[in-house]
């Protein structure tokens, strides 16, 4: 079976398909020892491919859903020897997380060895929705909820409109539980949004990524995505792109 060179590079987890196209045009990719600069080049499973002088190991693409516990790093390694998301999935494939969740944030995170797939789901322009449950300090009022819905001004610009629903309030503990859905992925975005309206986050969990959820899972549980789910995610991102 012949496939486009940039797709093979992306599936190896080296970079996204778009960046792979740039590497090809820059003459940094070799096929069977010869430099290839045409991005539409097709290769077979028998061809040897080198990127920046390094032979890529071809793997079958895999796709996992993990319920990340708190106190876990969204990375493949940590210099401080803290637990990372890949520690939970026993595989010899070179998987990596799609995006990240903060160290103290729990919830759904996807892992793969398919760089092209990861790019589709991470890029803000594809508007993949992520739903969070936030326990925040204070009894949040309607005005603050409306600000979050409309978008709040942060140091790196105003956030896009969000879907926000007040779940509960506990007067004795002076706290509120809020469901919030966004499609952006800025650093610490949810926490910064709530800080901007005067309600710092005390606890945060990502409950849903697109149509995927971890409702029947416990922290540390994982499963592979099925082919239908993978196709649906790709279709969702592709539709948003148009």
Query: What is the tens place of the pLDDT at every residue in 129-142?
Result: 999 999 999 999 99
Q: How many residues does the chain have?
A: 242
Quick check: pTM over 0.85?
Answer: no
What lies within 8 Å, CB to CB, of 43 at 6+ separation is 2, 3, 4, 5, 8, 31, 49
Query: What's the pLDDT score for residue 117?
Result: 86
Looking from the CA of 15 toward its CB, the CA atoms found within 13 Å total 13
Query: What's the pLDDT score for residue 241?
Result: 55
Q: pLDDT confidence of 188, banded at 50, 70, 90? A: very high
More confident residue, 121 or 72: 72
Are 125 and 16 a contacting pair, CB within 8 Å?
no
> Which pair of structure tokens corresponds to residue 117?
């797939």
Query: What's the pLDDT score for residue 13?
Result: 72
Query: What's the pLDDT score for residue 124?
Result: 66
Average pLDDT over residues 22-37: 94
Give pLDDT tens digits for 93-111: 889 999 999 999 999 999 9
Are 107 and 206 a contacting pair, CB within 8 Å?
yes
> Which pair of structure tokens corresponds to residue 195?
């800080």
Q: pLDDT confidence of 1, banded at 50, 70, 90? A: low
- Rounded to 5 degrees, φ, ψ at 32 are 55, 40
Q: Radius of gyration over alpha carbons of the chain, in Å?
A: 20
Q: Name which of 4-18, 149-163, 168-182, 183-197 the model is least confident about.
A: 4-18
Whether 150 has a pLDDT exceeding 60, the answer reads yes
Query: What's the pLDDT score for residue 2?
Result: 78
Count CB-CB contacts under 10 A for residue 79.
Answer: 7
Average pLDDT over residues 56-74: 92
Average pLDDT over residues 146-165: 96
What amino acid positions are annotated as catalytic residues? 102
Whether 242 has a pLDDT exceeding 80, the answer reads no
The whole-angstrom separation of Cα 11 and Cα 28 is: 17
Longest dimension (CA), the chain: 70
Whether 167 has a pLDDT exceeding 80, the answer reads yes
């Amino acid at each position: 079976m012949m496939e486009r060179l940039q797709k093979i590079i992306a599936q190896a987890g080296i970079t996204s398909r778009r960046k792979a196209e740039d590497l090809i045009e820059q003459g940094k990719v070799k096929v069977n020892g010869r430099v290839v600069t045409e991005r539409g080049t097709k290769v077979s499973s028998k061809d040897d491919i080198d990127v920046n002088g390094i032979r890529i190991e071809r793997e079958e693409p895999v796709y996992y859903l993990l319920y990340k516990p708190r106190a876990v790093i969204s990375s493949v390694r940590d210099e401080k020897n803290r637990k990372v998301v890949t520690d939970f999935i026993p595989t010899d494939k070179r998987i990596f997380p799609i995006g990240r969740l903060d160290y103290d944030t729990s919830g759904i995170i996807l892992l793969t060895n398919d760089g092209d797939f990861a790019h589709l789901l991470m890029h803000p322009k594809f508007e993949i929705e992520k739903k969070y449950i936030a326990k925040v300090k204070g009894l949040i009022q309607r005005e603050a909820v409306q600000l979050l819905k409309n978008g709040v001004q942060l140091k790196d610009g105003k956030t896009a409109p969000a879907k926000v629903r007040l779940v509960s309030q506990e007067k004795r503990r002076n706290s509120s539980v809020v469901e919030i859905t966004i499609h952006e992925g800025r650093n610490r975005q949810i926490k910064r949004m709530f800080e901007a309206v005067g309600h710092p986050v005390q606890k945060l969990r990502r409950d849903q990524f697109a149509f995927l959820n971890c409702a029947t899972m416990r922290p540390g549980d994982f499963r592979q995505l099925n082919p239908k789910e993978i196709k649906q995610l790709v279709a969702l991102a592709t539709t948003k792109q148009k």
